[in-house]
Amino acid sequence: MKKIIAILVVMLGFGFTANAQQKRVSVKSPTTGVQAVAKDPVVEQAATKDLTALTKVVTLNDVEKQNFKGLFEYKHRELKKALTPDQKKVLLNSIDAKLRASLTPDQMAKLDANKKTLTQLTN
């Protein structure tokens, strides 16, 4: 009997913690039936602007464009939150590190030469 009660308590504990997590707003696409997180048009527009600035400096294939757009959407979504200066600095440093890790040395050299674009993407 003690084991049954202990198992019940553990299951209830897991149930409460699972319900305490944040819920995401999802939208079901009528054409594909796939659920996706609702997009913020301001964030999407800012990410597209960053991607356009990057593609003016370096040549990217379609997969890279999609990956960088996702990175820039993440950046702008996080920047909309109330971040402390330290949190913002960490976020922007991680964006810079991801750019440097994803681009080839030649592409990164072109981006480093274009300080205005690099500043726009990492600030």
Cβ-count burial 13-47 (b if 16+ within 10 Å, e if not): eeeeeeeeeeeeeeeeeeeeeeeeeeeeeebeebb
Q: pLDDT band at 35, cuts 50/70/90?
A: very low
Average pLDDT, the chain: 80
Residue 61 has pLDDT above 50, yes or no: yes
pLDDT at 49 (0 to 100): 92
Residue 1: alpha-carbon gap to chain centroid: 48
Q: Cβ atoms within 10 A of the Cβ of 57, count?
A: 18
Q: Which residues contact 52 (CB under 8 A, 6 or more apart)?
A: none
pTM: 0.65
